[in-house]
Amino acid sequence: MERRQRGVSAGLLLLLYQISQVGFQNIPSVTLGVLVLNVFLFLNPLRPLTEVCLSVNEAVHKKNWQRLLLAPFHHADDWHLYYNMISMLWKGIMLERKLKSLWFAYIIAVFSVLIGIVYIVLEVLLVIILDDPSYEMNCGVGFSGVLFALKVLNNHYNPGRVSSVLGLPISSKYACWVELIAIHLISPGTSFAGHLSGILVGLMYTMGPLKKIMQACAAGISFFTEPDRPRDYYSAPVRTPAAGSLGGCTRPPLWRSSREILNSPFCLLFQLFSSRGNGKDLM
């Protein structure tokens, strides 16, 4: 049931290589910290996956609420870690420069817990609506719920862009919804409820009351508020590698290409076959 591979593996090596191509000095501090934390916990997990994954049964019935904190930062295997952290690298560079590091860290912390809560609520609703208690046992791990929320934020702060999903141009306004369905169809082992939870939390921030609630909680700490006029994406030029091919996935300059790597049909298909037989929902 457990697929975690201890030690250095192909996905981890590829992740470290691509991070080095961007340059550690070009990665904002909080984004780099999230990458380091996830890699560290992959190599040195606090507990086995069966003891960190989040489910209704574990969190609600058994009162293991600490899983809200543990589940987002543990991954099933090296490729699960790779895809999530490459996505975090791109989204972190885009958003952290814009929102300031402290506010971005605040967002990551709040989203990590809140997405788990929404995930539990969705699974409970599925149990009630479908009268199927098996949904109480669905146990999810991974950071992709937070990544879906960050995708909503990125599209909100940068409207009018076009994203590529499976090679198809999609308006950024709808890209997260198309990607939600596409990933679930191509890789059924992923957690639809976990990804949907991320989108809903992102919308709660951009269109609902969450942003104001977070600002109210941070009131009185002057440097801990989101800037009214966010800065431009980059304060310094980013060193990028030459275009090329790596593992069958096109590799143009990395700070722009992680989307294309993740959305390329080869990589999505590879993720499908590499995640079969997991026994865990990948978030």
Residues with a catalytic annotation lie at 144, 195
The Cα–Cα gap between 214 and 203 comes to 14
H-type alpha helices, the chain: 10-22, 29-43, 56, 67-70, 78-99, 101-130, 144-157, 172-186, 192-206, 210-217, 254-263, 265-274
Q: Which amino acid is at 195?
A: H
203 contacts: CB under 8 Å, gap ≥ 6: 152
SS3 for 282?
strand
Beta carbons of 187 and 267 less than 8 angstroms apart: no
- CA angle, residues 40, 44, 47, in degrees to nearest 5: 125
The Cα–Cα gap between 222 and 239 comes to 33
For residue 207, give Cα distances in angstroms to 15, 39, 148, 201, 222: 34, 33, 15, 10, 24
The Cα–Cα gap between 125 and 191 comes to 15
